Amino acid sequence: MCKRFGHNAPRPVSIQTLVLCVVGCACQAAHGQPAAAPLTTAPAPSNGDSTARPTFSPEAYLAHVAYLASDELGGRGIGTDGIRKTTEYIAGTFQRLGLKPAGADGSYFHAFDMKAGATLGDDTTLRITGIEAQPTLLHDYVPFPFSSDKAFAGEVVFCGYGLVNAERQHDDFIHLDLAGKVVLVLRGEPPGWQEEGHFTTFASFQSKVSSARNRDAAAILIVNPKPEADQTDELMPFQPGSNSSDFGLPALHIRRTLADAMLTAGGLKTLDGLQTKLDAGQSCSAALKSIRAEGRPAIRWDRTEVRNVVAVLPGRGPNADECIIIGAHHDHLGTQLPGQGPARGEPSDTPAIFNGADDNASGVAGVLELAAAFARRGPTRRTLVFMTFTAEESGLIGSQRFVADPTIPLDKTIAMLNLDMIGRMPEGRDRVQVFGVKSADEFDEILIECAEQVGIELNSAAAALGGSDHASFYVKGIPALHFYTGVHDDYHTPEDDTERINEQGAARILEFVYAVTEELADRDAKPTYSTGGGASHPRSGFKVVMGLMPGFGESDAPGMEVAAVSPGRPADQAGIRRGDRIIRVNDAKVNNVEDYMAALRGKRPGDKLTIVVQRGEEQMTLEVILASGH
């Protein structure tokens, strides 16, 4: 069981109260003293003048990244000791800099419960009728962490690789009645389908499970393809992560020996013979005569308490009750888990630490160094809030929970600046990408002026919706910017390590963010919120967009919540509204954001979709014409 922190619910604290708080008041972190930053990190960038714009130390910045992305923290996964140490390190750094705690009950922490790991119950079963030897849990089969926890029973149907790819005019389920049946499929896809040596999204577990579920299958059994010469037929370990979603269908990983027993007893060839035909493009889908499967993946989910970290540098003057948030997410993917890993297809079976140096130790290090710089400078006219978020990788959960139950007055928050992946500036080019430029009328002018002052190249984009925490604030009516150096081949892989960070480039970005923050903090007028930042900016190269932001919070309600809708985009034009729950896209059922993304996979700009939404007590059917995702 994970150690739990901060059991009291967070309560909003006024900025005035924080201004009056002296350094010694309740600076202890919950459950003890927060860990201090290493001595290699300077208290603040120093140029000998506390009022002049600082230059940032690449070495001090990299010292933060090196610790946050170290193997000791194990990839900062939800519910782990590594993420607990991460939050203590951040809180300890804030305390050492003299920043005031702005979390719950005088602490630096804004805590809440969420789903973490899971265990298999003793009542997990699988029984096959029509073969002699019966399977044993963990030896012959194991539930996937994305499996539903419900009993199933039905005849077994072999469906090849379980692929549906309209571009290749291929459908392993065509002409099959799968209602109430148990589907048996091979993992992966034919080698000739792979792109640059990687699985396509059609080979993902999500795609296979969604395809079977949308045809009303009772369950799915997935088996490894023929192992290479240096491989063996191994089951994936049952290691659910915090964002291992229930895909809406019982799903089991089985050994090839068990699959072969069912196939041969049911009148088909062994897997070796079938795979040869499948890889050559032939269809081998067929029902297995007299073979039935029944069982239950008895998955018991645990919950853990997680923490955002919040500190303030109180402002001074008539605008001190207004605040600016400088934030970054501190979580990452932890150790390799099924359903996480590279977004190029299936994750690896081999345990590996996803240290997340760029995503997002780079942003957290930036927040800490900016906090140090402003602590040395002294108060600005507005209060500065330095904040790091948990569970961003699980779907912006930390920031969404914060804006739903804040510990600072959001109605007095004039801007949010988000640092997410700022560590990979291309060598020899001082360039930063900034999203959300059109989320406030004044941002464009401010950014251009500050970029010229600092001497950095600005690549700006209007969108303030997208896959990072600034979006949670923008949908609440707060102008928001996202500073970013771009996606790369190491994104969401174990190769995202400290040695690949461009600390010199990151230091240049911090000079720019400092200038923007200072301008926003000390100018007379606050920025004017604009709906012009409503377009989304997906990190991956998705071909189409609906123009909406999914809600990622946990809910027992059916469908996927719509957290925000971009004005003028396809969802808005179709009549989809914030708060709707999408329950179906064409014939695909939607239970969560994974189902939603799977339903859009393979679609092209101009395609027309039939969307069923739940709005209060009413179900509505709407038509959406998709736009380009680029």
| Token code pair at residue 501 | 């960070």
Assess whether 483 and 570 both reside in one domain. Answer: no
Give residue-wise pLDDT tens across range 305-314: 999 999 999 9
| pLDDT over threshold 80, residue 152 | yes
Mean pLDDT of 235-247: 74
| pLDDT over threshold 90, residue 298 | yes
Tell me the sheet residues that pair with 185. 222
Q: Is residue 119 part of a domain?
A: no
Q: Is residue 2 part of a domain?
A: no
Q: Residue 507, exposed/middle/buried by CB under 10 A (0-12, 13-18, 19+)?
A: buried
Query: In the sheet that 182-186 helps form, which strands lie side by side, from edge to edge?
Result: 125-129, 286-296, 152-158, 182-186, 219-223, 251-254, 141-143
| Token code pair at residue 590 | 């939607």
| pLDDT over threshold 50, residue 17 | no
- Distance, CA of 126 to CA of 129 (rounded, Å): 10
Question: What is the band of 531 on the pLDDT scale with cuts at 50, 70, 90?
Answer: confident
Phi, psi of 456 (to 5 degrees): -120, 145
Tokens 């996979």 found at: 601
**Would you state the pLDDT for residue 68?**
98
Assess whether 508 and 616 both reside in one domain. Answer: no
Mean pLDDT of 475-496: 93
| Higher pLDDT pick, 556 / 327 | 327
Closest listed residue to residue 470, CA positions, set 444, 423, 434, 442: 434
Q: Residue 105, exposed/middle/buried by CB under 10 A (0-12, 13-18, 19+)?
A: middle
DSSP structure string for 53-84? PPPP-HHHHHHHHHHHTSGGGTT--TTSHHHH
- Distance, CA of 295 to CA of 126 (rounded, Å): 4
Assess whether 141 and 218 both reside in one domain. Answer: yes
Q: Is residue 350 part of a domain?
A: yes
Give residue-wise pLDDT tens across range 383-434: 999 999 999 998 899 999 999 999 999 999 999 999 999 999 988 889 999 9
**Would you state the pLDDT for residue 348?**
53
What is the rounded radius of gyration, in angstroms, for the C-alpha atoms of the chain?
A: 26
Cβ pair 337, 80 in contact under 8 A: no
- Distance, CA of 521 to CA of 540 (rounded, Å): 33
Question: CA triplet 73, 74, 77: central angle to 5 degrees?
Answer: 95
Q: Is residue 101 part of a domain?
A: yes
**Would you state the pLDDT for residue 341?**
39
Tokens 């690896």 found at: 348
Q: Measured between alpha carbons, how far is residue 47 from residues 56, 57, 451 in Å?
A: 9, 10, 20
- Distance, CA of 203 to CA of 268 (rounded, Å): 23
Closest listed residue to residue 612, CA positions, set 564, 535, 558, 565: 558
**Would you state the pLDDT for residue 542?**
53
Question: What is the band of 32 on the pLDDT scale with cuts at 50, 70, 90?
Answer: very low
DSSP structure string for 258-321? HHHHHHHHTT---HHHHHHHHHTT----EEEEEEEEEEE--EEEEEEEEEEEEEEE---STTTT
**Would you state the pLDDT for residue 168?**
86
| pLDDT over threshold 60, residue 328 | yes
Could you say which of 533, 568, 586 is where a domain stops? 533
Cβ pair 242, 115 in contact under 8 A: yes
Domain that holds residue 134: 125-299
Phi, psi of 350 (to 5 degrees): -80, 125
Q: Is residue 8 part of a domain?
A: no
Q: Is residue 7 part of a domain?
A: no
CATH assignment at residue 87? 3.40.630.10
Question: By three-state DSSP, how is residue 37 classified?
Answer: coil
The overall average pLDDT reported for the chain is: 86
CATH assignment at residue 184? 3.50.30.30
Give residue-wise pLDDT tens across range 575-615: 999 889 999 999 888 887 778 888 887 788 889 999 999 99
Residue 218's Cβ-side half-sphere holds a number of Cα atoms within 13 Å equal to: 16
**Would you state the pLDDT for residue 551?**
74
Least confident of 163-177, 522-536, 550-564: 550-564
Cβ neighbours for 553, distance < 8 A, ≥ 6 positions apart = 395, 397, 400, 401, 561
Least confident of 161-170, 208-217, 387-396: 161-170
Question: Hey, CA dihedral for 484, 485, 491, 497, is it positive or negative?
Answer: negative
Assess whether 95 and 35 both reside in one domain. Answer: yes
**Would you state the pLDDT for residue 5?**
25
| pLDDT over threshold 50, residue 7 | no
| pLDDT over threshold 90, residue 247 | no
Assess whether 469 and 355 both reside in one domain. Answer: yes
Strand 581-585 to 219-223 pairing: unpaired
| pLDDT over threshold 60, residue 258 | yes
- Distance, CA of 2 to CA of 17 (rounded, Å): 33
Could you say which of 267, 299, 331 is where a domain stops? 299
- Distance, CA of 271 to CA of 254 (rounded, Å): 13
Question: By three-state DSSP, how is residue 600 classified?
Answer: helix
Question: By three-state DSSP, how is residue 389 classified?
Answer: strand
| pLDDT over threshold 60, residue 38 | no
Assess whether 80 and 148 both reside in one domain. Answer: no
**Would you state the pLDDT for residue 19?**
38
| Token code pair at residue 415 | 């801007």
- Distance, CA of 485 to CA of 366 (rounded, Å): 13
Q: How many domains would you assign to the chain?
A: 3
Least confident of 34-38, 299-303, 407-411: 34-38
**Would you state the pLDDT for residue 545?**
78
Q: Is residue 318 part of a domain?
A: yes
| pLDDT over threshold 80, residue 538 | no
First to last CA, the chain: 44
- Distance, CA of 393 to CA of 353 (rounded, Å): 15
**Would you state the pLDDT for residue 246?**
81
Q: Is residue 548 part of a domain?
A: yes
**Would you state the pLDDT for residue 534?**
66
Assess whether 318 and 207 both reside in one domain. Answer: no
Q: Give the Cβ contact number of residue 3 at 10 Å.
A: 9
* Overall residue count recorded for the chain in this entry: 630
Assess whether 294 and 242 both reside in one domain. Answer: yes
Assess whether 81 and 162 both reside in one domain. Answer: no
Closest listed residue to residue 257, CA positions, set 270, 274, 275, 273: 270
CATH assignment at residue 624? 2.30.42.10
Cα dihedral value 383, 35, 109, 518, nearest 10: 20
Give residue-wise pLDDT tens across range 184-201: 999 999 988 887 777 888
- Distance, CA of 339 to CA of 569 (rounded, Å): 30
AA letter at 329: H
| pLDDT over threshold 70, residue 224 | yes
- Distance, CA of 313 to CA of 338 (rounded, Å): 41
Assess whether 326 and 384 both reside in one domain. Answer: yes
**Would you state the pLDDT for residue 113?**
92
**Would you state the pLDDT for residue 418?**
98
Assess whether 368 and 430 both reside in one domain. Answer: yes
Could you say which of 479, 501, 533 is where a domain stops? 533
Assess whether 133 and 278 both reside in one domain. Answer: yes
